[in-house]
Amino acid sequence: MFKGKFIDNLPKIYGTYTGGFLVFIILMAIAEQAGMSAKLIGIFFVAFTVLIYALIGYLSRTLQVDAYYVAGRQVPTVFNGMATAADWMSGASFVAMAGGIYFKGYGYMALLVGWTGGYVLVASLLAPYLRKFGCYTVPDFIGTRYGGNAARLCAVLVLTVASFTYVTAQINATGTIASVALDIPFNIAVYVGLASILMCSMLGGMRAVTWTQVAQYIVLIIAYLLPVFWISNKMGAGVFPHFMLADEVARIAELESQFGLGTVKNSAADLATVPKGLAGITKAHSEVNTTPWKFISLAVCMMAGTASLPHVMMRYFTTPSVKSARRSVGWSLFFIFLLYSSAPMLATLSKLSLMDPNLATGIIGKSIADVQALDWYQNWNQANLMFVSDFNGNGTLELNEFFMGGKAVVLATPEIAGLPYVISGLVAAGGMAAAMSTADGLVLAIANALSHDLYYKIIDPKAETAKRLVVARVLLVIIGFAGATIAALEIQGILGSVIWAFDFAMSGLFFPLVLGVWWKRANAQGAVAGMLLGLASGTAYLIWVRNGGAGFWGVTQLTFGIVGSLVSLVSMVVVSLITKAPDAATQRMVDEVRIPSGKTVLGKQH
Amino acid sequence: MSKQQQHWEKTRGLLFITLAIWFIFSIGIFFFGAEMEASSFRPLGYPLSYYMTCQGSLGIFVILIFWFAGRQEKIDEEFGFTEREDD
């Protein structure tokens, strides 16, 4: 069926895969009509897709160093874009983002701007240059550019702190979805999630992760877009929701004032009866509801964080050339844009279908007893994601008496809007794909940094290829288990820890990376100072604010990267200038990085 | 000035233009959230502030990166720094 090289057949292979997945969805829909239970459909969706990823992971196994670390540097531009999009869009983007927009409106959408705008920085400041450098990992660039083990070690430290914060949230998300879909307890589901993640990455490293991520992107984008289009058409809101929901946005504003949003407040005693983690709508949907600085500071942190997170950067090490690395960033953002521009539309549709009394699905203004008798309400109430209570005792449900968990917007909306259960199964598979693909990228980024930079470059530079790859895989399993163990403790929410990861990465790595390319005078002492003081001051600020500190400049625990990165920049520049300029060889190396042609700075195998 | 220095001058110039456009649409316009909301210019009928946060700026970033990549390739070509296929 497929003649010739694997790479040349990619469009055909993934075309067949997409077709096969669509056929699978149709088969499930037929099975549902024939009476298959909702539970079984959910199990089929998650189990089937995870097995496919594991199969791809197995087929991509490798014994070569450059295939393991950078997928042999032959991932075509567009496919790398897809893989990056899956790598990038985590459980938080897929499951939590539309919910955040639903509850917080405009103020929350700073994340949309931040998580896309960062790619302009990636494309213009870093990706093409790091590709030309020819490194395997981000600390590999820092270590070689600045010279010396100290700089390399600091980069490994920042990378581990940021990525590990992020990965626990992703393993937590895979656990949540696996526990709901497969109907097993969360603390076991976490390890089921972990096992699926390791199956995708252990045997083939970056090569396996690349080809599973492409497959995961296809599943997650279908799972996100199909319900949005379906609900919009079913409600008669518009054939193409993204361009046609202006009336619905205006209608929500109208209903908000009709239902007294912001004027009717719940008492503290009433709120105490609401289960933990659920929230009501307290912010207007489209109105500008936050100060410019709050919006902008959050966007800035997410943008700089995007440009410093190693699991994203290392995806651009896998393209065949500098030119394709640059274009690949554009494709990544395009594929991300498809989902991000749909999230506000999903939030709009979800909110309107619950609020509008003219729609059959609307529940606000109905009698409480009727709402409590609804099937979907009972299901999601049981899953601890929905709650109503008659605070004012008038027997009807008011806007301030309805509470929902953030995840419910994505997970429950298809059911609320009356779509068949097969769509809910599809959404669960999509969420699993999103969380798994990001977790894969992160676990691999940490394990690669430890195995390549710490073990091979610092501890045992004479290690043979086979030994290096064994160490890499053992570390992968250890990191995965550590992440799962912490995830099982459920310390923080998914979204909060994701935002922290960006701030950590930005505090320690943003300026050392950017100045490494754009400022020849930057030297090792400066970089070490920048990384350590940046990370330390950011962390100190976070701890201070978490423990009731007042903070300054309106910087909160979500934007502490601003403090960290400023300290990093100042200390890096000052220390670089008071110590010796880098030697001529390093200066030549920087010159070499700045032009696309010629050999990479580091050899093909190193 | 050597060929390489000229190439870097131009690359830096392109970077500043790219970052300026990026700054306007990621940071600049959001200083004026309230003004955008009140504006009578409503793309596709959405309030301008809402439109820019959920589609406008995002779409501009996508186009900006492809435009930047095209311009950078031209600069590389002009100075003969384009990669050969076998590199």
Chain A residues lying within 8 Å of B18, measured CB to CB: 120, 124
Quick one: DSSP state of residue A396? B
Chain B residues lying within 8 Å of A329, measured CB to CB: 65, 69
Whether the predicted pLDDT of A137 surpasses 60: yes
A156 in Cβ contact with A307 (< 8 Å): no
Strand partners, A403: A387
pLDDT for the residue numbered A145 = 92
pLDDT for the residue numbered A186 = 81
Chain A residues lying within 8 Å of B64, measured CB to CB: 120
Whether the predicted pLDDT of A492 surpasses 80: no
Question: Residue B87: pLDDT band by 50, 70, 90 thresholds?
Answer: very low
- Chain position carrying tokens 């600049």: B28
Q: What is the mean pLDDT of residues A531-543?
A: 94
Interface test with B, best of A124, A243, A252, A588 (most B CBs within 10 A): A124
Quick one: DSSP state of residue A321? S
Greater pLDDT, A125 or A550: A125
Q: With pLDDT > 70 as the criterion, what percentage of chain A qualifies? A: 98
pLDDT for the residue numbered A467 = 86
Instruction: Give the nearest partner residue to A286 out of B47, B58, B59, using CB atoms.
Output: B47
Residue A452 structure tokens: 């390549």
Binary contact (B58, A116; C-beta < 8 A): yes
Binary contact (B69, A329; C-beta < 8 A): yes
On average, the pLDDT of chain A sits at 88
pLDDT for the residue numbered A573 = 96
Rounded to the nearest 5 degrees, what angle is found at the Cα of A150, between the Cα atoms of A148 and A154?
130
Q: Cα distance from B38 to chain A (closest Cα, Å)? A: 10
Q: Count other C-beta atoms under 10 Å from residue A436's C-beta.
A: 34
Whether the predicted pLDDT of A12 surpasses 60: yes
B46 in Cβ contact with B14 (< 8 Å): no
pLDDT (tens digit, 9 = 90+) per residue, A242-300? 888 888 888 888 888 888 787 777 778 788 888 877 888 888 888 887 889 999 999 99
pLDDT (tens digit, 9 = 90+) per residue, A67-82? 888 888 889 999 999 9
pLDDT for the residue numbered A296 = 94
pLDDT (tens digit, 9 = 90+) per residue, A349-387? 988 888 888 888 888 888 888 888 888 888 888 878 888
Chain B residues lying within 8 Å of A110, measured CB to CB: 30, 53
A146 in Cβ contact with A458 (< 8 Å): no
Quick one: DSSP state of residue A275? P
Q: With pLDDT > 90 as the criterion, what percentage of chain A qualifies? A: 40
A173 in Cβ contact with A90 (< 8 Å): yes
Residue A403 DSSP SS3: strand
- Chain position carrying tokens 């720094």: B81
pLDDT for the residue numbered A271 = 82
pLDDT (tens digit, 9 = 90+) per residue, A305-322? 999 999 999 999 999 999
Instruction: Give the nearest partner residue to A598 out of B32, B64, B87, using CB atoms.
Output: B87
Binary contact (B82, A591; C-beta < 8 A): no
| Sheet strands (E) in A431-518 | none
- Rounded to whole angstroms, how far apart are CA atoms A317 and A128? 9
- Rounded to whole angstroms, how far apart are CA atoms A374 and A383? 14
pLDDT for the residue numbered A3 = 60
A602 inside 8 A of chain B by CB = no
Residue B63 structure tokens: 């186009």
A120 inside 8 A of chain B by CB = yes
Binary contact (B53, A110; C-beta < 8 A): yes
Report the amino acid identity of residue A151: A
pLDDT for the residue numbered B72 = 94
Whether the predicted pLDDT of A128 surpasses 50: yes
Give the DSSP H or E segment for A386: strand A386-388
A362 in Cβ contact with A252 (< 8 Å): no
Whether the predicted pLDDT of B86 surpasses 50: no
The candidate with the shortest Cα–Cα distance to A163, out of A397, A410, A445, is A445
The candidate with the shortest Cα–Cα distance to A439, out of A100, A223, A193, is A193
| φ/ψ of residue A128, rounded to 5 | -65, -35
Binary contact (A106, B50; C-beta < 8 A): yes
A322 inside 8 A of chain B by CB = yes
Q: With pLDDT > 90 as the criterion, what percentage of chain B qualifies? A: 63
Structural domains in chain A? 42-265+276-352+419-503 (1.20.1730.10)
Greater pLDDT, A117 or B35: A117
Residues comprising chain A, all counted: 606
Classify residue A396 as exposed, middle or buried by CB count within 10 Å of its CB (0-12, 13-18, 19+): middle
Rounded to the nearest 5 degrees, what angle is found at the Cα of A579, between the Cα atoms of A577 and A581?
75
Chain B residues lying within 8 Å of A120, measured CB to CB: 18-19, 22, 26, 61, 64-65, 68
Chain A residues lying within 8 Å of B22, measured CB to CB: 117, 120-121, 124
Binary contact (B83, A106; C-beta < 8 A): no
Under 8 Å CB pairs connecting chains A and B tally to 147
| φ/ψ of residue B82, rounded to 5 | -70, 145
The candidate with the shortest Cα–Cα distance to B53, out of A97, A498, A18, A190, is A97
- Rounded to whole angstroms, how far apart are CA atoms A403 and B42? 32
Whether the predicted pLDDT of A566 surpasses 70: yes
Binary contact (B46, A246; C-beta < 8 A): yes
Whether the predicted pLDDT of A2 surpasses 70: no
A226 in Cβ contact with A426 (< 8 Å): yes
| φ/ψ of residue A278, rounded to 5 | -95, 150
Quick one: DSSP state of residue A367? B
Instruction: Give the nearest partner residue to B45 out of A128, A246, A345, using CB atoms.
Output: A246
Stretch 219-248 of chain A: residues touching chain B, C-beta under 8 Å = 242-247
Quick one: DSSP state of residue A278? E
Residue A247 vs residues A251, A253, A320, A432: alpha-carbon distances, Å = 6, 10, 46, 33
Q: What is the mean pLDDT of residues A530-549?
A: 92
Q: Cα distance from B6 to chain A (closest Cα, Å)? A: 11
Residue A189 structure tokens: 């589901």
Q: Cα distance from A329 to chain B (closest Cα, Å)? A: 7
pLDDT (tens digit, 9 = 90+) per residue, A139-179? 999 999 998 889 999 999 999 999 988 888 888 888 878 88
Whether the predicted pLDDT of A4 surpasses 70: no
Binary contact (B72, A326; C-beta < 8 A): yes
Instruction: Give the nearest partner residue to B53 out of A109, A323, A594, using CB atoms.
Output: A109
Residue A108 vs residues A253, A278, A299, A405, A495: alpha-carbon distances, Å = 17, 17, 10, 16, 12
